[in-house]
Amino acid sequence: MSMSALLEEVSRLHHARHPATPAQVDAFEQRVGWRLDADLRAFYLHCDGADLFDRAGPAFSFPPLSELRRARVVMSQDDTDKAGPASWYAICEVRDGNFILLDVSQQHDGRYPLRDGFREGFPNPTQCQISSSFSEFLEGALRSNGRWFWLKKLMQEER
């Protein structure tokens, strides 16, 4: 499914925030020292964050750019290398307080991969990659009925 169709669905069926401005995107990129990939740029220019399924207790909550932080700061309250890679960002909070992590240290076809930010396993660098792009993750989240869709796939891979 195209990113524009996914974004239209977020706006129509979920709880999207107002779009970020190009100036807010530029300020974010200056602050963090890396550029949003095409998927993330489209998402944040469409909506500066969103809550999926339920506003009060969302299954997936994407923060606004102003609140996007390194995973090690969000999960460990420590911004040193012993607390995890500087290149992982908490891009989405899931219902139980765990996170989906964006890995900006690598790109595949111009997109950053996403990892499972399971608190008990953080900051293990072998934590599983759950999607190769934000659009792939967003599509899975939208089809999930609020469930952790990637866990079923992981369990099948372990067999």
Tokens of 112: 């950053």
User: Domain range for residue 21?
Assistant: 3-158
HSE of 58, CA atoms in CB hemisphere, 13 A: 20
Count of domains observed in the chain = 1
Tens digit of pLDDT at every position of the chain (159 positions): 999 999 999 999 999 999 999 999 999 999 999 999 999 999 999 999 999 999 899 999 999 999 999 999 999 999 999 999 999 999 999 988 899 999 999 999 999 999 988 766 676 766 688 899 999 999 999 999 998 888 765 545 554
CATH number of the domain at 143, please.
Answer: 3.40.1580.10
